[in-house]
Amino acid sequence: FSRIKQPLTEVEIFHTDRGKEFDNQAIDELLTTFDINRSLSHKGCPFDNAVAESTYKSLKVEFVYQYTFETLQQLDLELFDYVNWWNHLRLHGTLGYETPVGYRNQRLAQRILDNELGCANASEAV
């Protein structure tokens, strides 16, 4: 928490895994004192939060570790740009090397077409 440059009263969520380093009274008291919500996946279910964990890893490697932000306003602006890039330009292997917006739009268009044709899926339309 010492690396956070903004007041802790402005932090809303503290996301960690269930590692022992975060399972202690000092962390619990700090989160309670500053009214910070803890974000965790379900115990014993490592895949429960796989998409979020992968996204956080990419965010840290591609964005957080690459830059230094002088103000919270600068961070907000740069993060907005990064999320826009992530959604509209960055290709994702798990989405067939499409962008998230492109993937969503293609699936939505296919569902609309399937509904118009009265099909459960596109293969029935052939």
Q: Domain total for the chain?
A: 1
Give pLDDT tens digits for 75-122: 999 999 999 999 999 999 989 999 999 999 999 999 999 888 887 655
Task: Determine the pLDDT at residue 125.
Answer: 45
* 11 assigned to some structural domain: yes
Token pair listed for 31: 């989160």
* 69 assigned to some structural domain: no
* 3 assigned to some structural domain: yes
The residue count of the chain comes to 126
Full residue range of the structural domain in which residue 17 is found: 1-40
* 105 assigned to some structural domain: no
Whether this prediction's pTM lies above 0.75 is answered by no
Those residues with Cβ within 8 angstroms of residue 15's Cβ, 6 or more apart along the chain or in another chain: 38, 39, 40, 52, 56
Task: Determine the pLDDT at residue 124.
Answer: 47
* 68 assigned to some structural domain: no
